[in-house]
Structures are given as C-alpha cells and as structure tokens.
A and B are shown apart, each in its own frame.
Chain A
Amino acid sequence: MSAFTSKFADELIANAAYIGTPGKGILAADESTGTIGKRLASINVENVETNRRNLRELLFTAPGALPCLSGVILFEETLYQKSSDGKLFVDILKEGGVLPGIKVDKGTVELAGTDGETTTQGLDGLGDRCKKYYEAGARFAKWRAVLKIGENEPSEHSIHENAYGLARYAVICQENGLVPIVEPEILVDGSHDIQKCAAVTERVLAACYKALSDHHVLLEGTLLKPNMVTPGSDSPKVSPEVIAEHTVRALQRTVPAAVPAIVFLSGGQSEEEATRNLNAMNQLKTKKPWSLSFSFGRALQQSTLKTWAGKEENVKAAQEALYVRCKANSEATLGTYKGDAKLGDGAAESLHVKDYKY
C-alpha cells in the first residue's frame, strides 16, 4: 500500500472506527494549564491543580455522559490524574467505554514574512512522547493547526506548512499506536461570506490529504477535526441547513471515504448552535461515507462550568448540565435532535473569542 504498514494497523483502524460510532462523539477536555486558567477565571475559581482535577472529575463521572462519548481528549497533566477515591481517570474512561486521547502539539508560532499566520510545533521527540502516552492508556492524539482567512490569507506557504506538519505528526502517532486526529482549523474571524469559507476549507483539506498521502498515513486509522463551513464572525448568520449544505459539500470534495469519521470542532459557536448545525448535517440526504460527529470543548462545557462555579454543592447540577449537552449532541449525530434540550445558563451564548489562542 501507499500507506505504511504499522504493527498497530488493525488497532488503529478499530479505534478510529469506534470513535466514529453513531450516537457518540468526543469531549475535548484538553485545555492547557494556561487556557483552563482563563475558563476558571471566568467563574472565579483559582487555577490550581486540585481545581483542575475537580473539574475533570466532575465531567468524567457525570451520570449518563459517558455512553454519549467515544473519546475524551486530555491534557498531559490530566492523563496521570486520579479521581478523589484514587482511581486513574484513564481507567474510569476506559471502563465507561470511552477512549482516552491526548493533546500532543505545543502550540503555534508565527511564520516570519506572513501577516500573522502560524505553524504548529511539537514534532521534536514526538515519537517517544507518544510511546509514553500509549503506555499511560491513551489511544488517540490531537494536533491543532490554525489558518485564517484574510485578504491574502491563507497563503500557500501557510497551507503547505500546516498540512505537512499535520502529516508528519499523523504518521509518528501511527508508528506508536495512537490514532491521529487531524485538525486544520480555519478560524471564523472575519467578514467574509460562507462561500469564501467553503473555498478556503476545500483548498486546505485538499492540501491536507495530499500531505497525508505523501507521508504514507493510513487514512482508515485517522480522524478529521475540521471547522464547519460558516460565514465569518463579522458577517450575518445563516441557518443550520445552509451551514450543513456547504460543510458537507466541502467534505465530499476533499475527504476520501477511507476516513471513518469526521469530528467537528465548535470554534466560537454557542452550545446550541453547534448542536443544531451538527444535527442539520446528519439530516442532509446526500453522500456521506464517513460518520459526522463532534469533538467539542467549549460547546460541551460552557453551561457546566457556569453551573459549577467551583462549588461542591453545585456538582450535581453541573453534571446534569453536561448530560443535557452530551445527550443533545449524541442525538445530533443521528439527526434526531429536536432542539428541546433544557437550555442551561449560557447554552445560547456565543463562545467566539477573536483570534482565539489556546
């Protein structure tokens, strides 16, 4: 095959397919220490390890949540943390039928000579790190590449750098037993229309799949985490059906059928928007040879965070809020969401932060 033959091939294929199980999706709980600090600050909670651990325990032990999930992406610290009664988080997840994943990139750095475009770092020693993560129980990984739309952006240079960075990361993961989630996020920032976003998304995805082919990545053992195709943040909104049509068409034009699942990022969308858009995609009657699911961070946790506010007495209510969003998104992967999820405090709130940095 053009794909390299890894000793992990069968396992990668099985795990990638499992993550794409209809009715399930991914909770992105991999906020770095700095980023989770911003979230905790917004609810007046101190950014110390116990609080970070408490938050994740709240999420992973929320009744009814795990059956809606096939994976959770973790930050390195969390991979080694335990619940308050001494059980490793990775074991709690595994026993609940949820694969632990790990964020492996080391953030973005600017590309000299461009107008604020970036590339992602993290390749040094990545193979060894993946081996350790596999030993600790991780079975998939995530690497976020970031592109933006502007007058002259994304540049060919930025597209190439980010696509080939993703490809190198992907094959290193596969050599070490981790299913790579390939995430080429095109930021929503800007005043462009949905057609522009579609054109850029198609161009970026085409470059990604060429790079993955060049690097001999086994597509059946990967997942894609793209942006949905939407108007820019400064442009008028459109309906979920329009977003669904443009998004699925862009994917039909670029993503080979060998990829088992596409797990969307939510970007700056509110919890409810993200769910409705995903639902509309799954209702669309057209060729979709990959399952369409979620890998949401803010769009799963926003209401939960607000409800918790760092207080022990709010844990139960916060866990219910998480369950509501998990269930809603689980239904959205089946196209059966009726929009009747009990809207928690903040579920309709836009989560857009201009020029968002993790």
Chain B
Amino acid sequence: MSAFAGKYADELIKTAKYIATPGKGILAADESTGTIGKRFASINVENVESNRQALRELLFTSPGAFPCLSGVILFEETLYQKTSDGKPFVDLLMENGVIPGIKVDKGVVDLAGTNGETTTQGLDSLGARCQEYYKAGARFAKWRAVLKIGVTEPSELSIQENAKGLARYAIICQENGLVPIVEPEVLTDGSHDIKKCAAVTETVLAAVYKALNDHHVLLEGTLLKPNMVTPGSDSPKVAPEVIAEYTVTALRRTVPPAVPGIVFLSGGQSEEEATLNLNAMNKLDVLKPWTLTFSFGRALQQSTLKAWAGKTENLAKAQATFLTRCKANSDATLGKYTGGASGDSAASESLYVKGYTY
C-alpha cells in the first residue's frame, strides 16, 4: 500500500472508527496550564493543580455524560492525575467506553517573513513521547495547526509548512499506536465572507491530504478536526443550514472516504451555535462518507465552568449543565437536536477571542 502498515494498523483503524461512532463525540479538555489559567481567571478560581484536577474530575464523573462521548483529549498533566478516591482518570474513562487522548503539540511559533503566520512545533522526540503516552493509556493524539485568512494569507509557505507538520506528526503517532487527530484550524478572524472561508478551507484540506499521502499515513486510522466553514468574525452571521452546506461541500471536495470521522472544532462559536451547526450538517440530505461529530472544548464547557465557579456546592448543578451540552451535541450528530437545550444565557454567549492562542 501507499500507506505504512505498522504493527498497530488494525488497532488504529478500530480506535478511529469507534471514536467516530454516531451519537458520540470528543470532549476537548486538553487546555494547557496557561490556557486553563485564563478560564479559571474568568470564574475567579486559583490556577493550582488541585483546582485543575477538581475541574476535570467534575467533567469525568458527570452522571450520564459518558454515553455521549467516545473520547476525551487530555493535557499531559491530566493523563497522570487521579480522582479524589485515587482512581487514575484514564482508567475511569476507559471503563466507561471513553478513549483517552493526548495533546502532543508544543504550541505555535511565527514564520519569519510572513505577516503573523505560524507553524506548530513538537516533532522533537515525539516518537518517544507517544510511546510513553501509549503506556499511560492514551490511544489517540491531537496536534493543532493554525492558519489565518487575510489579504495575502494563508500564504503558500504557511499552507505547506502546516500541512507537512501535520503529516509528520500523524505518521509518528501511527508508528507508536496513537490515532492522530489532524487539526488544520483556519481562524475565523476577519471580515471575509463564507465563500472566502470555503475556498481557503478547500485549499488547505487539499494540501493536508496530499501531505498525508506523501508521508504514507494510513487514513483509515486518522480523524480530521477542521473548522466549520463560516463567515469571518467581523461579517454578518448566516443560518446553520448555510454553514452546513458550505462545510459539507468543502469536505466532500477534499476528504477521502477512507477517513472514518470528522470531529469539528468549535472555534469562537457559542455552545448553542456549535450544536445547531453540527445538527444542520447531519440533517443535510447529501452523501457523507464519514461521520460528522464534535471535538469541542469551550463549546462543551463554558456554561459548566460558570455554573461551577470553583465551588463544591455547585458540583451537581455544574454536572447537570455539562450533561445538557453533551446530550445536545450527541443529538446533533444524529441530526436530532431540536434546539434550546438550556435556557442558560451562557449557552448563547459567543466564545470568540480575537487572534485566539492556546
């Protein structure tokens, strides 16, 4: 085959397919220490290890949430943490049919000579790190590449660099038993229209799949985590049906059927927007050879964080809020979401942060 068939091939295929199970999706809980600090600051919670542990325990022990999830992406610290009664988080997840994943990139750095474009680092010793993560129980990984839309962006250099970085990361993961989630995020920042976003997304995805092919990546053992195709953040909003049409068209033009699932990022969308858009995509009456589901961070946790506010007495309320969003998104993967999951104003709050950096 053109694809490298390592000793983990069957396992990778099985894991990727499971993560893409209709009705389930991914909770992205892999905020780095710095990023989770920003979240905590917004609810006046101190950024110390016990609080980080408490938040993740809140999420992972929410009654009823597990059936809605097929995977959780963790930050390295969390991979080795335990519940308050001493159970490793990874064991708790695995026992409940949720596969632990691990963020493996080391953030972005500027590309010299460009207008603020970046590439992602983290390839050094990645193989060895993946082996350690596999031993610790991780079975998939995530690497976020970032591109932006501007007058002359994304540049050919930025597209090539980010596509190649993703491909190199992907094959190293597969060599070491981890399903790579390939994430080429095209930021929403800007005043461009949805057609521009579509054109850029298609160009970027075409380059990504060429790079994956060049690097002999086994597509059946990967997942894609793309942006939805939307107007820029400074442009008028459009209906979920329009977002669905442009997004699915872009994916049909670029993502080979061998890829089992597409797990959307939520970007700066509010919880409700993200769910409605995902739902509209799954209702679209057009042939989609991959499942369309979620890999949401902020769009799953925003209301929950606010409800918790760091206080143990808010635990039940926070967990109920979390369950509401999980169920809403689970329904959305089946095209069954009927809207208005929670009357909570937080659910409609835009989570857009200009020039968002993790």
Contact with B along A50-92 (1 / 0, CB 8 A): 0000000000000000000000000000000000000000000
- How many angstroms between the C-alpha atoms of A256 and B254 in the bound complex? 5
A1 touches B195 (CB 8 A): yes
- How many angstroms between the C-alpha atoms of A220 and B202 in the bound complex? 14
Q: Can you name the residue of chain B whose Cβ is closest to the Cβ of A203? A: B2
A207 touches B210 (CB 8 A): yes
Task: For chain A, residues 154 to 205, give those with C-beta under 8 angstroms from any C-beta of chain B.
Answer: 195, 198-200, 202-203
B213 touches A256 (CB 8 A): no
Please judge, given known A-B contacts A198-B2, A206-B213, whether A2 and B289 are in contact too, CB under 8 Å: no
Q: Does A210 contact B (CB under 8 A)?
A: yes
Q: Does A258 contact B (CB under 8 A)?
A: yes
Contact with A along B200-219 (1 / 0, CB 8 A): 10110011011001100001
Enumerate chain B residues within 8 angstroms of A195, measured Cβ to Cβ.
1
Q: How far is the CB of B40 from chain A (nearest CB, A)?
A: 40
Enumerate chain A residues within 8 angstroms of B29, measured Cβ to Cβ.
none
Q: Can you name the residue of chain A whose Cβ is closest to the Cβ of B248? A: A257
Q: Does A114 contact B (CB under 8 A)?
A: no
Q: How far is the CB of B87 from chain A (nearest CB, A)?
A: 39
Chain B binder among A40-48, A247-255, A314-322: A247-255
Enumerate chain B residues within 8 angstroms of A3, measured Cβ to Cβ.
202, 253
Contact with A along B68-81 (1 / 0, CB 8 A): 00000000000000
Q: Does B199 contact A (CB under 8 A)?
A: yes
Q: Can you name the residue of chain A whose Cβ is closest to the Cβ of B255? A: A256
B257 touches A289 (CB 8 A): yes
Contact of A255 among B199, B249, B256 (CB under 8 A): B256
Enumerate chain B residues within 8 angstroms of A235, measured Cβ to Cβ.
none
Q: Does B106 contact A (CB under 8 A)?
A: no
Contact of B253 among A2, A203, A210 (CB under 8 A): A2
B1 touches A202 (CB 8 A): yes
A256 touches B253 (CB 8 A): yes
Q: With contacts defined as CB atoms under 8 Å apart, how many contacts are there between chain A and chain B in the complex?
A: 88
Q: Does B315 contact A (CB under 8 A)?
A: no
- How many angstroms between the C-alpha atoms of A195 and B2 in the bound complex? 9
Contact of A210 among B199, B210, B219, B255 (CB under 8 A): B210
Enumerate chain B residues within 8 angstroms of A219, measured Cβ to Cβ.
253
- How many angstroms between the C-alpha atoms of A254 and B214 in the bound complex? 12
B252 touches A256 (CB 8 A): yes
Q: Does B258 contact A (CB under 8 A)?
A: yes
B213 touches A202 (CB 8 A): yes
Contact with B along A217-245 (1 / 0, CB 8 A): 00110000000000000000000000000
Enumerate chain B residues within 8 angstroms of A214, measured Cβ to Cβ.
206
Q: Does B3 contact A (CB under 8 A)?
A: yes
Q: Does B14 contact A (CB under 8 A)?
A: no
Q: How far is the CB of B16 from chain A (nearest CB, A)?
A: 14
Q: How far is the CB of B20 from chain A (nearest CB, A)?
A: 12
Q: Does A213 contact B (CB under 8 A)?
A: yes
Please judge, given known A-B contacts A252-B257, A253-B3, A255-B256, whether A2 and B202 are in contact too, CB under 8 Å: yes
Enumerate chain A residues within 8 angstroms of B249, measured Cβ to Cβ.
1, 258
Q: How far is the CB of A159 from chain B (nearest CB, A)?
A: 11
Please judge, given known A-B contacts A198-B2, A202-B213, whether A2 and B257 are in contact too, CB under 8 Å: no
Closest 10 CB pairs of A and B: A2-B202, A213-B206, A202-B2, A206-B213, A210-B210, A252-B258, A258-B252, A289-B289, A258-B253, A253-B258
- What are 18 A-B pairs at a CB distance below 8 A? A1-B195, A2-B200, A2-B250, A2-B253, A3-B253, A195-B1, A198-B2, A202-B2, A206-B209, A219-B253, A253-B213, A254-B213, A255-B257, A256-B253, A258-B253, A287-B258, A288-B257, A289-B252
Which residues on B are within 8 Å of A, measured CB to CB? 1-3, 195, 198-200, 202-203, 206-207, 209-210, 213-214, 219-220, 249-250, 252-258, 287-289
